[in-house]
Amino acid sequence: MAGAALRVESLAADLGAIVGARHVLTRHSTLLAYESDALPGYHKRPRLAVFPGTQEELVSVVRRLAADGVPFVARGAGTGLSGGALADDTVLIGVQRLRRIINIDADARTATVEPGVVNATLTRAAAAFHLHYAPDPSSQAACTLGGNVAENAGGPHCLKYGVTLNHVLRATVVLPDGELVTLDRGDHGGYDLLGAFVGSEGCFGIAVELTLKLTPNPEAIITMLADFTSVAEAADATSRIIAAGIVPAALELMDQATIRAVEESVYAAGYPVDAAAVLLIEVDGPRAGLDADADAVTAICSAAGARDVKRATDAAARERLWQGRKKAFGAMGRVAPHLVVQDAVVPRTQLAELLGDIASIGARHGVRVCNVFHAGDGNLHPNIPYDADDADESARVHAAMQEIMERCIAAGGTITGEHGVGLDKLPYMERLFTADTLDAMCTLRETFDPARRANPGKVVPLRSCREWQGLPALRGGLAG
Amino acid sequence: MSLAREALHPHRVEDVADIVRDAVGGLRIRGAGSWMHVGAPVVAAHELRLDAFRGVRHYTPGDLTISVGAGTTLAEIDAATAAHGQWCPLLPWGDDRGSVGAAIATATGGPFAEALGRPRDLVLGLECVDGRGRIVRAGGRVVKNVAGFDLTRLMVGSWGTLAVITEVHLRLRARPSADVTLLVEGATTTAMRAFQHGALPPLAALPLGEATARTLGHPGPGAWLLRLGGNAPQVAAARQALARIGACIELGARSWDVVRHDQAPPPATHWTWTPLMKRVREAFDPRGVLNPGLLGEAA
């Protein structure tokens, strides 16, 4: 172990020479802050954390690690919900100091940024040009754009505007071996390696610089709250709105458990607490015709059984309606000390049936499932507040979640729509994909990272990669 | 240009996998056959015909997604979806006799790509056989999916050099309730660009060459073809704004077929192969079996 300790010390010294000694952490107590992301239940402590302050420093850090074959994990703000940014006894590279907005080109509607820029910061900077960055995860006030790209993050407004993938135009990436490459969408001839990189969860390299699409602010916005006495009716209204050809900017469903959690919290938004479900619906676009869309939405909701459809009359009212939705996870903190946030997608027409099944699965296991999700995309978020220190309750939560996920897979859905696989969803990958498909995913990863040093052990179970089977255990630990 | 000597005609994806595994001398992939003239000469011993992979395999209109065999023509998809007031807005340059597999493999956009999505944005998942003979089922039928590495995006635009696409899952849209095609005459480029980027963006706006304008029966300089889509008040407002820019003549939506047909599908340019791209090609097709030479890579 003395040799290993020495190795960490000499590596820390070398990295300190690149980024400044105070931006390298090696003490266990200081590394404690990095042992989890926003998903409780996984604790993996890095052996060392390094925080480069410039793009050049980031590249130098990766090259220094490559020289010794040291694995690493990139981390933005740590708001991920899949245990994806955890470094187990290896090097964590934090990008949050790389927060320069390099350029905003208002005519071309693009922004070039460093990976540590916070999502909402870019939107604030673009506001001067009547532009914004459309993907808006609920963590947008904290999450970084580099992390968004790594996870192919979504958000309420992705229903109309598309997920992160649709908004990244170019990325300069440092590959795990230290090579610097520029990836684009293949528009000018070439494979869409940018498309492959987005959502690769840090397994293909680290984005050093990103060019993102900015979206014009809509001329007008109408936000509505529809109030239902059954979850199935709310789900049915969702399908009918989309099928009618109206593409709302957002179409979010909250069930009664969620409504109550929100209304009992400091984020109370004035939702009707006796409703079985509410739909938060926003339409935006040119002023002309927007009222017609809102009227159509109201009529569809009423026909599906809504008791009431309210319109926010001013910006403050609108803000309040959204606050309840965006802070719903936080509000659940009042219900229990821990929260499992799930992320599955099903075909939209199966939402009503699925929600019924989720309710009975929850009841059978004696756990309280709160649903708050992107209904327009069929992107479910069944969440269970619980006490992780209660072994019996933890086991029941785990069993219920597993059943819910299996039900979603059986419905022709998928196990994650925007949070990523990380560590948490690894067990489901072999249920969802064939051995050949997983093997092909391994092939793709290995073209970027032949030694599998970037975010080792995530996304695809190692045993699924034929060429890696039979090899000694992955060099996960720094001192290994 | 193709030197195919023998045609192979599989009916099942497993047969495609066997053919790829056993291939000696290269395979030229053929869908509906409408794209065979594009790209560099392919030197292949066999032509792999995918016309048996044809037809709608899964379509629930309420989900606004459709799964079709890769050899299905765009016209067939249009017919199947139109019956439900929906469309697949792929509509690439060229015509609708081509196969959807080819449109995806070549990532060919069209006049509506900016407003309605490029092929990479419209493909939710696909089934393919890679150059190693693995049957890969990537993505899925749902509109949001981040499970695993994105093999779907990798295959879109790879010109069949990494895998043979056998089935695709596509995102559909509801057809707009108001849909108007206008020819605008005498407009300045500046005014038209401003309109395009203004509050009422059209589905497409295309400056017409003289020959195309003549084909449409409206020769004259500064002619633009516009398509407005949305609800009735929106389209009415856009028409009003346009009338201030130039003289508007209403044409049928069929005009777009003329325009699309006039524009040849973009040829496979001789790519500038980066080291990373070469690694990808070698990893997925180590023997160089699929469409050898099409993209001008070094033999």
Lowest mean pLDDT among A14-23, B37-46, B124-133, B194-203: B37-46
d(CA A206, CA A61): 11
Cβ neighbours around A106 below 10 Å, total: 13
User: Could you report the predicted ipTM of this complex, rounded to two decimals?
Assistant: 0.95
List the beta bridge partners of residue A222: A283
Whether residue B52 lies inside any domain: the answer is yes
The contacts of residue B171 (CB under 8 Å, 6+ apart) are B64, B65, B88, B117, B121, B122, B123, B124, B143
Measure the CA dihedral B67/B73/B74/B76, to 10°: -80
Whether residue B268 lies inside any domain: the answer is no
Residues of B in contact with A430 (CB under 8 A): none
d(CA A341, CA A56): 36
Q: Are B14 and B133 part of one and the same domain?
A: yes
The 10s digit of each residue's pLDDT in A88-114 is: 999 999 999 999 999 999 999 999 999
Query: DSSP characters for A82-129?
Result: SSTT--SSSEEEE-TT---EEEEETTTTEEEE-TT-BHHHHHHHHGGG
Residues of A in contact with B176 (CB under 8 A): 245
User: Cβ(A283)–Cβ(A234) under 8 Å?
Assistant: no
Q: Average pLDDT of chain B?
A: 91
d(CA A408, CA A357): 10
Confidence of residue B6 (pLDDT cuts 50, 70, 90): confident
Distances (CA, A) of B213 to A302, B192, B274: 48, 17, 41
| In chain B, residues 13-42 whose CB comes closer than 8 Å to chain A | none
Whether residue B265 lies inside any domain: the answer is no
Task: Check residue B271 and give its pLDDT.
Answer: 85
Q: Which token pair is A65?
A: 């690690």
Whether residue B261 lies inside any domain: the answer is no
Q: Are B27 and B151 part of one and the same domain?
A: yes
- E runs forming strands in A239-375: 250-255, 277-285, 308-311, 338-341, 344-345, 370-374
Question: Which H helix or E strand runs over A56?
Answer: helix A55-68
User: Cβ(B285)–Cβ(B130) under 8 Å?
Assistant: yes
Q: Are B288 and B218 part of one and the same domain?
A: no
Which one has a higher pLDDT value, A4 or B217? B217
Q: Are B169 and B189 part of one and the same domain?
A: no
SS3 per-residue string spanning A218-252:
CCEEEEEEEEECCHHHHHHHHHHHHHCCCCCCEEE
Q: For residue A10, give how far its alpha carbon lies from the nearest alpha carbon of chain B (Å).
A: 32
The contacts of residue A430 (CB under 8 Å, 6+ apart) are A438, A461, A464
User: Cβ(A179)–Cβ(A404) under 8 Å?
Assistant: no
Task: Check residue A480 and give its pLDDT.
Answer: 40
Task: Check residue A436 and give its pLDDT.
Answer: 97
**Cβ–Cβ below 8 Å for B174 and A242:** yes
The 10s digit of each residue's pLDDT in A446-465 is: 999 999 999 999 999 988 98
State residue A17 phi and psi, 5-degree precision.
-65, -25
SS3 per-residue string spanning A426-449:
HHHHHHHCCHHHHHHHHHHHHHHC
Residue of B106, B146, B239, B269 to mutate for A, most A C-beta atoms under 10 A = B146
Q: Are B171 and B183 part of one and the same domain?
A: no
The 10s digit of each residue's pLDDT in B191-202 is: 999 999 998 999
Whether B43 contacts chain A with CB within 8 A? no
Whether residue B259 lies inside any domain: the answer is no
- Which letter, b or e, does each residue of A269-292 get, where b requires 16 or more Cβ atoms within 10 Å of its Cβ? bebbeebbbbbbbbbbbbebbbeb
d(CA A148, CA A436): 28
Option in A286, A379, A419 nearest B237 (CB): A286
The 10s digit of each residue's pLDDT in B211-240 is: 888 888 887 777 999 999 999 999 999 999
Query: H helices within A158-311, ranges in order?
Result: 158-161, 193-197, 231-243, 256-263, 290-304
Task: Inform me whether the pLDDT recorded for A270 exceeds 90.
Answer: yes
Q: Are B114 and B247 part of one and the same domain?
A: no
Option in A191, A244, A347 nearest B174 (CB): A244
CA A463 to chain centre: 25
d(CA A226, CA A275): 10
Q: Are B37 and B55 part of one and the same domain?
A: yes
Whether residue B292 lies inside any domain: the answer is yes
Option in A165, A191, A421 nearest B148 (CB): A421
Residues of B in contact with A165 (CB under 8 A): 150, 153
d(CA A139, CA A440): 32
d(CA B234, CA A247): 14
Q: Are B92 and B159 part of one and the same domain?
A: yes
Tell me the one-letter amino acid at A297: V
Q: Are B240 and B93 part of one and the same domain?
A: no
Whether B52 contacts chain A with CB within 8 A? no
Q: Are B77 and B168 part of one and the same domain?
A: yes
Q: Average pLDDT of chain A?
A: 94
Query: If you count residue pairs, one on A and one on B, with CB atoms under 8 Å apart, how many are there?
Result: 206
Name residue, tokens 């139109």: B82
Task: Check residue B5 and give its pLDDT.
Answer: 65
Q: Are B160 and B183 part of one and the same domain?
A: no
Q: Which token pair is A447?
A: 């073209």
* CATH code where residue B210 lies: 3.30.70
Task: Check residue B1 and give its pLDDT.
Answer: 42
The 10s digit of each residue's pLDDT in A108-132 is: 999 999 999 999 999 999 999 999 9
Q: Are B95 and B204 part of one and the same domain?
A: no
**Cβ–Cβ below 8 Å for B147 and A193:** no
The 10s digit of each residue's pLDDT in A293-321 is: 999 999 999 999 999 999 998 999 999 99
Option in A189, A192, A445 nearest B149 (CB): A445
The contacts of residue A21 (CB under 8 Å, 6+ apart) are none
The 10s digit of each residue's pLDDT in A384-415 is: 999 989 999 999 999 999 999 999 999 999 99
Mean pLDDT of A419-438: 96
Task: Inform me whether the pLDDT recorded for A288 exceeds 70.
Answer: yes
Lowest mean pLDDT among A372-376, B131-135, B153-157, B213-217: B213-217
> What are the structural domains of chain A?
2-94 (3.30.43.10), 101-216 (3.30.465.10), 218-335 (3.30.70.2190), 336-425 (3.30.70.2740), 433-468 (no CATH)
Lowest mean pLDDT among A365-369, B93-97, B204-208: B93-97
What is the share, in percent, of chain A residues with pLDDT greater than 70? 96
Domain encompassing residue B49: 1-175+273-299
* CATH code where residue B150 lies: 3.30.465.10
Task: Check residue B299 and give its pLDDT.
Answer: 43
The 10s digit of each residue's pLDDT in B8-36 is: 999 999 999 999 999 998 999 999 888 77
